[in-house]
Amino acid sequence: MTQKDIILETQNITRYFGGLAAVDDVSIQIERNTLHAIIGPNGAGKTTLFNLISGVLKPTSGNVIYKGQDLTKLPVHRMIHMGLGRSFQITNIFPNLSAFENVRLATQSMRGDNFKILRDPSKIEGCDERSWDVLKQVGLLEKAMIPGRFLSHGDQRKLELGMILAPDPELLLLDEPTAGMAGEEVPELIDLIRTVQEEGSKTVLLVEHNMNVVMNNADYITVMNHGKVLAEGAPAEIANNQEVQTAYLGGLYEIDVVK
Ligand SMILES: Nc1ncnc2c1ncn2[C@@H]1O[C@H](COP(=O)(O)OP(=O)(O)OP(=O)(O)O)[C@@H](O)[C@H]1O
Ligand SMILES: [Mg+2]
């Protein structure tokens, strides 16, 4: 068996809020160039885990190792420069800026020193070209000049993906990228994420509630419940896991694995 190429791992990571262990002794490994999904019921600790990985929260105990370095010892702004990009559960765009300006701001703010954000972006080498490329990649070229607030919710989510992609991260942390989207818009965004991941040789860690989406697109799944890892494995293994069926799915979902 070949050894796995692990881009990120958590080692016994725990985070308490008062007496509640929102994330409780979680050790997971994310293999490079895969789409790894985290699923679990509301309150399972998925977002808290993302916050620990991306440095938004400090762990009560445990470590996050990214490309061999312990992230829990680094300030947040260093992480972006190390190739880590993340989204939040709520949409995070600038509503009054155009789609292009949103992406350009993301491109610009991640390049070199932080003061570049105060400079005229059109004068920063490669900034405009990169922004157009990203808009094309997420399918928003025709909507480049539309202010963020006038875009459909689905397009806002694509724009947000573009903003994460702009600095060309190696690892993308996407917390419910399809949240609030109309059902028919979901497959398109997931296809887009999958394409970005495969064609760009990127690693994606994704929290997603839509079971069919997860089952049909993830390479690997971690199931969380009450802050702990309940199960992990390939989609088919998870779909057939009795513990997952009872604890999480409760027989309410029909899992339909096409892959
Ligand atoms: N800042 C906080 N202060 C106190 N408790 C918190 C805080 N953030 C999260 N929690 C609690 O920690 C637990 C895990 O929350 P978390 O948001 O990580 O769950 P989740 O799996 O992302 O849920 P959802 O699917 O609803 O997004 C919940 O019980 C939540 O109420
Ligand atoms: Mg959450």
Phi/psi class of residue 199: alpha, beta or left (left: φ > 0; alpha: ψ in -120 to 50)?
A: alpha
- Domain map of the chain by residue range? 1-74+207-259
- Among 38, 41, 45, which residue's Cα sits nearest to residue 60? 45
Ranges in the chain, pLDDT < 50: 113-115, 252, 254-256, 258-259
User: What pLDDT is recorded for position 115?
Assistant: 47
pLDDT tens digit sequence for 80-93: 667 787 777 677 89
Q: Which neighbouring-strand residues pair with 37?
A: 206, 221
Q: Which residues contact 198 (CB under 8 A, 6 or more apart)?
A: none
User: What pLDDT is recorded for position 75?
Assistant: 75
User: What pLDDT is recorded for position 118?
Assistant: 54
User: What pLDDT is recorded for position 113?
Assistant: 46
Please state the atom number of ligand 1 nearest to the C-alpha of residue 176.
27
Ligand nearest to the backbone CA of 222: 1
- C-alpha of residue 44 to centroid of ligand 1, in Å: 7
User: What pLDDT is recorded for position 258?
Assistant: 46
| pTM greater than 0.85 (yes/no) | yes
3-state secondary structure of 172: strand
Are the beta carbons of 200 and 242 closer than 8 angstroms? no
Q: Is 45 in the pocket of ligand 1 (CB under 6 A)?
A: yes
- Record: fold of 1-74+207-259: Rossmann fold (3.40.50)
Which residue's CA is the closest to the ligand 1 atom numbered 12?
22
Please state the atom number of ligand 1 nearest to the C-alpha of residue 224.
21
183 residue type, one letter: G
Ligand nearest to the backbone CA of 45: 1
User: What pLDDT is recorded for position 126?
Assistant: 81
pLDDT tens digit sequence for 128-187: 999 999 999 999 999 999 999 999 999 999 999 999 999 889 999 999 988 888 888 888
Q: Is 46 in the pocket of ligand 1 (CB under 6 A)?
A: yes
User: What pLDDT is recorded for position 48?
Assistant: 97
User: What pLDDT is recorded for position 226?
Assistant: 93
Expressed in angstroms, the distance from the first to the final Cα of the chain is 23
User: What pLDDT is recorded for position 38?
Assistant: 96
User: What pLDDT is recorded for position 254?
Assistant: 47
